[in-house]
Amino acid sequence: MSDYLSAEAARLAPYTPGEQPQDQQYIKLNTNESPFPPSPRVVKALSRAELLKLNLYSDPTCAALVGALARRYELKAENIITGNGSDEILAFAFRAFCGEGRPVAYADITYGFYKAQTALFGLDAHIIPLREDFTLNVDDYLDFPGTIVIANPNAPTGMAVPRADIQRLLEARPDRVVIVDEAYVDFGGESCVPMIYRYENLLVVQTMSKSRSLAGGRVGYALGSPALIAALNRVKYSFNPYNVNRLSLIAGAAAVEDESYFATCTAAVVRNREWTARELEALGFTVLPSCTNFLFARCGRLSGGEVYRRLKENGVLVRWFDAERIRDYVRITIGSLEQMTALVDELGRLLDEL
């Protein structure tokens, strides 16, 4: 460890991203990326004329993208903030709504960045276990006095909480913020966006990485009451006013405006997910119900680590978490039907060899 590292930085436990190997071509089902390219409108919008403007700063208000999102969700500009991926938006939220006297709560099995960011900001984090079947029961959060963060649908389990349960949390204590991270909601979850005008303490965070095929563009956003968005902007303008680059602003607006392409791609992912779940179950896997673009599955004959390693040796990448309660599972991103067929065929061969 570097002698120059501060004591605070030395205590951090950084988030571990999914593998991005360069040594060979893999069927890559480990980082929840879309199997589809961005919308043709995105490609057309990123013209040479726009590339020639990269000598200029991007618009700090992100007006074009905010406007596209406002039209799509039938909200006002004051209800929206955009960021360099939803991870940045979440960081703004942790900084804005948590701190001295304001603890934060989230599940023990959920998106790993919550733990990394609470450590980064030195927050008082309360980890609340999922139930034995990996469901999140909001009764466990009703009396919590601080900020609540819920990935809905959850990652890596893929399971969702009904909107009515989120409503119970919002109403139980209107003096606390409830952050609903809807990174995967477009694949079958029940969005809380329709409740924004009713609950001033609701912040909904979404991303264009999954359902709009812009993982490399890093475009995220939050939707909420004007007071919550103003608080996030206070953090943004204290950290990085030009946080979304010019090309991502253009790409994001074009992606939002192509509703037909969005619907076609998400429907294809859902079809491929249901097909893959049936095939895995036929092979003897236990597959958790999913409202996302991935499946969380356990093989009764091989450990999760062994499934991950054997698949990788044969050119297929999935995600394995060497963590308590879930180390027998692997998370499988839903790709094209061709990719999913190759995965199922490879698993079948591995199991036949046992």
For residue range 96-154, list pLDDT tens digits in order: 999 999 999 999 999 999 999 999 999 999 999 999 999 999 999 999 999 999 999 99
d(C-alpha 279, C-alpha 346), whole Å: 12
- According to the model, what pLDDT value does residue 21 have? 75
Q: Comparing C-alpha atoms, which of 173, 134, 128 is closest to residue 156? A: 134
Checking if the pLDDT of 282 tops 90, the result is: yes
Checking if the pLDDT of 83 tops 90, the result is: yes
For residue range 284-310, list pLDDT tens digits in order: 999 999 999 999 999 999 999 999 999
d(C-alpha 107, C-alpha 157), whole Å: 11
Question: Where do the domains of the chain lie?
Answer: 18-37+260-352, 40-257
Question: CA-CA distances (angstroms) from residue 221 to 82, 319, 323?
Answer: 4, 26, 30
| Residue 259 burial (CB count, 10 A) | 11
Q: Which residue has the higher pLDDT, 69 or 14?
A: 69
Which residues are 202's β-sheet partners? 178
Question: CA-CA distances (angstroms) from residue 252 to 55, 93, 155, 166, 223?
Answer: 20, 21, 24, 28, 15
Checking if the pLDDT of 24 tops 70, the result is: no
Checking if the pLDDT of 23 tops 80, the result is: no
Checking if the pLDDT of 161 tops 70, the result is: yes
For residue range 189-217, list pLDDT tens digits in order: 999 999 999 999 999 999 999 999 999 99
- According to the model, what pLDDT value does residue 17 have? 82
d(C-alpha 241, C-alpha 21), whole Å: 33
Checking if the pLDDT of 1 tops 70, the result is: no
Q: What angle do CA 13, 15, 16 make, to 5 degrees?
A: 115
Q: What are phi and psi of 85, to 5 degrees?
A: 80, 160
For residue range 207-245, list pLDDT tens digits in order: 999 999 999 999 999 999 999 999 999 999 999 999 999
Q: CATH classification of 40-257, choosing from 3.40.1500.10, 3.30.70.920, 3.40.640.10, 3.90.105.10?
A: 3.40.640.10
- Mean pLDDT (whole number) for 280-285: 98
Checking if the pLDDT of 338 tops 80, the result is: yes
3-state DSSP assignment of residue 132: coil
What is the architecture of the domain spanning 18-37+260-352? Alpha-Beta Complex (3.90)
pTM score? 0.96
Going by C-beta distance under 8 Å and a sequence separation of 6 or more, which residues neighbour residue 101? none
Checking if the pLDDT of 77 tops 80, the result is: yes
DSSP letter for 52, please: T
Confidence of residue 3 (pLDDT cuts 50, 70, 90): confident
Written as one letter, the residue type at 84 is N
d(C-alpha 277, C-alpha 271), whole Å: 10
d(C-alpha 152, C-alpha 281), whole Å: 24
Q: Which of 49-53, 72-76, 182-186, 217-221 has the lowest mean pLDDT?
A: 49-53
Mean pLDDT of the chain: 96
In contact, 244 and 58? CB cutoff 8 Å: yes
Three-state SS string across the chain, please?
A: CCCCCCHHHHCCCCCCCCCCCCCCCCEECCCCCCCCCCCHHHHHHCCHHHHCCCCCCCCCCCHHHHHHHHHHHCCCHHHEEEECHHHHHHHHHHHHHCECCECEEEECCCCCHHHHHHHHCCCCEEEECCCCCCCCCHHHCCCCCCEEEEECCCCCCCCCCCHHHHHHHHHHCCCCCEEEECCCHHHCCCCCHHHCCCCCCEEEEEECCCCCCCHHHCCEEEEECHHHHHHHHHHHHHHCCCCCCHHHHHHHHHHHHCHHHHHHHHHHHHHHHHHHHHHHHHCCEEECCCCCCEEEEEECCCCHHHHHHHHHHCCEECEECCCCCCCCEEEEECCCHHHHHHHHHHHHHHHHCC
Residue holding tokens 């139930």? Answer: 131
- According to the model, what pLDDT value does residue 15 have? 83
HSE-CB for 227 with a 13 A CA cutoff: 10
